[in-house]
Amino acid sequence: MLFVKAPAKINLTLDVLHKRPDGYHEVEMIMTTVDLADRIGLERRDDGSIRISAADRFIPEDRRNLAYQAAELVKHTYGIAEGVTIRIEKNIPVAAGLAGGSSDAAATLKGLNKLWKLGRSIDELAELGAKIGSDVPFCVYGGTALATGRGEKIRHLPAPPNCWVILAKPKIGVSTADVYGNLKLDKLSHPPTEQMMEAIETKDYRLLCNSMGNVLETVTMDLYPEVRVLKEQMQRFGADSVLMSGSGPTVFGLVEHESRVHRIYNALRGFCEEVYAVRMLGERETLD
């Protein structure tokens, strides 16, 4: 069995520029991977079929699974007759704004490149990933990046300044399409994307905290008021800066000093079942 790590991402910024004729939104967002990860196991099959084993009641084991779609795409694109069993050990909360499904798909692309000795470049795998979902190319690279287009155009950035990330997910799942669908394009408060890039490049933690912003945040908070409450609680407990990730509902808080991490973590555990204290992974990985 070949194992590949599939880390979650958070959005340090998420801006929407306009709605495109194809129905997608033109975005500008800065994303970074964190060390909360699913583990994907891949095993050859002689019968040519794709099988998913997920042992998680929230994710599908058929064609709807993004890892299945990744395997199907690789088989079709490169004419592979062999099959694969994909075992998904799920640690990333589902439908949470953390790109769990997209990261599983990205890990499957990278894993199959190895398992089937395809010799494809990471850029080619990222391009293939765009056919599965807007977040998949970023997940193929990982690290830190500015994503534009519908999210699939990636410009790599250096590692952000060191800090802790506390993730808290309310007990609801959010549909990304619903959130984009409820966005009022004439009422957006745009985050300072350029300033965030400067904060990352100069490793200025304070500037980074002051540059976070996500135009989808108020949309999700209006649909699910508990997300707003959770953000306020995390701010009150002393996180340096708090934001919702992606389309939500996960809220993350940055904390510079380790001594404060446990206090905030424990305080949140009082009324939120899913809380994680993690680190940013920083720079992107390369294929080995």
Ligand X SMILES: C[C@@](CO)(OP(=O)(O)O)[C@H](O)COP(=O)(O)OP(=O)(O)OC[C@H]1O[C@@H](n2ccc(N)nc2=O)[C@H](O)[C@@H]1O
Ligand Y SMILES: Nc1ncnc2c1ncn2[C@@H]1O[C@H](COP(=O)(O)OP(=O)(O)O)[C@@H](O)[C@H]1O
Least separation in angstroms between CB 258 and ligand Y: 28
- If one asks whether residue 59 binds ligand X (CB under 6 A), the answer comes out as no
- If one asks whether residue 71 binds ligand X (CB under 6 A), the answer comes out as no
- Ligand-binding annotation for 94, yes or no, is yes
Least separation in angstroms between CB 164 and ligand X: 21
Identify which of 13, 15, 10, 35 has the alpha carbon closest to the alpha carbon of residue 207.
Answer: 13
* Stretch in the footprint of ligand Y (CB under 6 A) among 22-30, 88-96, 180-188, 223-231: 88-96
Least separation in angstroms between CB 68 and ligand X: 14
90 is a catalytic site residue? no
9 is a catalytic site residue? yes
- If one asks whether residue 11 binds ligand X (CB under 6 A), the answer comes out as yes
User: Residues annotated in the binding site for ATP, as ranges?
Assistant: 93-103
- Return residues touching ligand X (CB under 6 A): 11, 14, 24-25, 27, 29, 97, 99, 102, 133-135, 150-151, 176-177, 180, 246-247
- Return residues touching ligand Y (CB under 6 A): 59-60, 64-67, 88, 94-102, 104, 176, 246-247
Q: Which sequence positions are flagged as catalytic? A: 9, 135
